[in-house]
Amino acid sequence: MLKPPKATRSSIMKKSNRTGLKTILVLVLILALVIIGGKTLFDVGEFDTIWDHPLDDCHELALTGAEDMTLVDNGSRVLISAADRQGLDKEQKNGIYLYDGSYSPKLVYPTEGQPQGISSVPTESGTRVFVIVHKATQDVVLILDWASDSLTLVKELPFDNVTTLNGIVAIDGERFFASQELASSFKPFQEVEKLLRLSLGKLWLYDGRALRIARDKIIYPNGLALSADKKILYVASMLNRSLIVFDYDPTTYSVQWRNQFPLQTAPDNLHWAGDRLLIGAHPKLLRLMAHSHDAIRFPAPSQVIVLDGLPDKPAISEVHSSKGGMISAISSAVVLKDRLLLGSIYTKGMLTCAALAEKEKATIQSTLPN
């Protein structure tokens, strides 16, 4: 039997080695994708178990897309930022609604565009309200006065080339912080930012005269809250499933990182109930993404959690959890009188529920790690 020439044998061996190397590279690439995909699914909560233990005595209110809320009139009433983002209620107008617990929410200020974050602060002359509104080509913040059951426009502040503002918190009657969740205004790039959880979000400060970037490189900043003394700022990092704590100096406008706490769920809007922080949260972010495209077809689970012991030793309790029951994607929770009011990003309806007694809360993690 004739042996192939040495050159031929060498070529066959080289080809075999190249084929083997390609196979190894493909297997390594597949393994890397599996690891990255698995970590992503873990990080966005897809492996977490969601239990149905909703609050008691919940009743639905006829208001779609009640994304954020703020208490006014010494906490006796609430202004609600609502927009029908998916055309679920053709008769509802975008705007600010008033609810006092005894009747259905009523429209008190229609907006040209979709309102989102809302915040209020008492002033010497009444109450100042700040509202983020998404217009056709850019975002604006409406600065309004609340008095005699009506809102009066004081100023409209445009954010040039910005379309992804989210949360807002009033510092005083002239100043506020606002979060910008994504850097890009181009929808496909926004999806990439979200999928890769890029730290391209910003925190804006309006000092009464001009806008400035107070912090940047934040992963999808969402809801905001200030401590009672206005010296500590809380930022919900939604896609990082954590709460960031900053020290704020109101004299120099300095915002310095203080701490960051993992929450095991994706926080949305932040609201105080006394010295406790109430957070509407999304335990499964991929479900929320599907829900954002079709709220009826893809319900999304929700949580409401409360943090005690802030700013340095927070303890977390879960007060409400639902796989997507009466409403999906709860984004905010406020205590109104003796009830807990729950708003949602997309759902047709919001909930008013019995406030949960202290001893009945289901503690899911006693103390958060530093």
pLDDT digits (tens, 9 = 90+) for 44-69: 556 566 777 888 899 999 999 999 99
Quote the DSSP letter at residue 149.
Answer: T
Secondary structure of 30-79 in HEC code, one letter for each residue: HHHHHHHHHHHHHHCCCCCCCCCECCCCCEEEEEECEEEEEEECCCCEEE
pLDDT at 15: 63
In a domain, 173, yes or no: yes
In a domain, 223, yes or no: yes
**Does 315 share its domain with 219?**
yes
pLDDT at 366: 39
Question: Cα–Cα–Cα angle for 148, 349, 133, nearest 5°?
Answer: 55
**Closest Cα to residue 118, out of 211, 266, 223?**
223
pLDDT at 367: 40
What's the whole-number average pLDDT of the chain? 89
**Does 85 share its domain with 221?**
yes
Q: Which residue has the higher pLDDT, 122 or 90?
A: 122
From residue 253, how far is each of 9, 33, 230 by CA, in Å?
Answer: 74, 43, 11
pLDDT at 5: 59
In a domain, 166, yes or no: yes
**Does 88 share its domain with 195?**
yes
pLDDT digits (tens, 9 = 90+) for 290-306: 999 999 999 999 999 99
**The amino acid at 198:** L
Is the pLDDT at 370 greater than 80, yes or no?
no
18: alpha, beta or left? (left if phi > 0; alpha if psi -120 to 50):
alpha
Is the pLDDT at 284 greater than 80, yes or no?
yes
Give the count of domains, the chain. 2
Is the pLDDT at 10 greater than 60, yes or no?
yes
In a domain, 1, yes or no: no
d(CA 132, CA 67): 11
pLDDT digits (tens, 9 = 90+) for 56-107: 899 999 999 999 999 999 999 999 999 999 999 989 999 999 999 988 999 9
In a domain, 93, yes or no: yes
Instruction: Show the domain range for 26.
Output: 9-43
CB 111 within 8 A of CB 142: yes
pLDDT at 324: 75
**Does 311 share its domain with 233?**
yes
**Does 133 share its domain with 194?**
yes
**Does 353 share its domain with 214?**
yes
pLDDT at 8: 64
In a domain, 24, yes or no: yes
**Does 238 share its domain with 332?**
yes
Confidence of residue 42 (pLDDT cuts 50, 70, 90): low
**Does 57 share its domain with 91?**
yes
Confidence of residue 177 (pLDDT cuts 50, 70, 90): very high
**Does 58 share its domain with 38?**
no
pLDDT at 360: 42
**The amino acid at 1:** M
**Closest Cα to residue 79, out of 138, 23, 145?**
145
**Does 166 share its domain with 28?**
no
pLDDT at 139: 98
In a domain, 83, yes or no: yes
Is the pLDDT at 161 greater than 60, yes or no?
yes
CATH number of the structural domain spanning residue 216: 2.120.10.30
CA atoms within 13 A on the CB side of 231: 3
**Does 57 share its domain with 80?**
yes
Beta bridge partners of 170: 176
pLDDT at 44: 54
**Does 182 share its domain with 316?**
yes
Which residues, at least 6 apart from 40, have a Cβ–Cβ distance to it below 8 Å?
195
In a domain, 300, yes or no: yes
